[in-house]
Chain A
Amino acid sequence: AQSVTQPDIHITVSEGASLELRCNYSYGATPYLFWYVQSPGQGLQLLLKYFSGDTLVQGIKGFEAEFKRSQSSFNLRKPSVHWSDAAEYFCAVGSGGSYIPTFGRGTSLIVHP
């Protein structure tokens, strides 16, 4: 069965600093990987996704993620964080014909001014 681990429950960064959110997945074949963001009380918005090809994926809002098969990781990065990036971030893995994503528990990003 596929699974996702987000080892950091909370991450605190200063505005303008760089950011990396960790994601490790477990799946036997080539996974489909996603990062979503959720603001308080809201639904989820897709930041980026990886299905195949270039392992460095560019997303919206200046985010990028790199798929590393050898490490079973798909970490999310941003070079300079803005206060509006404070939110909950979810990594997800999908597989098979249904592509139903399985989500991690999320990482809460706190941005200090």
Chain B
Amino acid sequence: DTGVSQDPRHKITKRGQNVTFRCDPISEHNRLYWYRQTLGQGPEFLTYFQNEAQLEKSRLLSDRFSAERPKGSFSTLEIQRTEQGDSAMYLCASSSTGAIGNTIYFGEGSWLTVV
């Protein structure tokens, strides 16, 4: 069990540029979640996948944001035309389905700074 892995850990980008984050979940987990966390706040849900299907999206996920999980394994979160308000930590998490009570495991997060 290598845990949830996120890359890059830190990204500084200029406003208007596109950025992409990658998440590799725990290998046997079929659910994958993306959250966003700003300073002094708790994580806010963005979207989640079960296998390759994107089952739920938050209204926080504007049309500049797109998430994919093409083969039901790793996932990418792309932000187009970044704005300063996008500066945050983007957290990925994974879990398995099945019995109630499955633990959701979080990665270390990807910090985005938009300048």
Contacts and interface: CB of A to CB of B under 8 A. Distances in A.
Interface of A: 4, 32, 36, 41-46, 49, 51-52, 90, 92, 98-106
B85 interface: no
Contacts of A36: 106
B43 A90 contact: yes
Given A36-B106, A43-B107, 19 more contacts: A4-B42, A32-B100, A32-B101, A43-B4, A43-B108, A44-B93, A45-B106, A46-B103, A46-B105, A49-B101, A49-B103, A51-B100, A90-B43, A98-B55, A99-B95, A100-B45, A100-B56, A101-B104, A103-B43
B25 interface: no
Nearest to A102: B45
A35 to B, nearest CB: 12
A62 B33 CA distance: 28
A31 to B, nearest CB: 12
Contact of A90 (B40, B42, B48, B111): B42
13 contacts: A32-B100, A41-B109, A42-B108, A43-B106, A44-B93, A44-B106, A51-B101, A90-B43, A98-B55, A100-B56, A101-B104, A104-B42, A105-B41
Nearest to B9: A41
A106 B43 CA distance: 9
Interface string B75-100: 00000000000000001010100001
A57 to B, nearest CB: 11
A43 B104 contact: no
A99 B100 contact: yes
Contacts of A4: 42
B2 interface: no
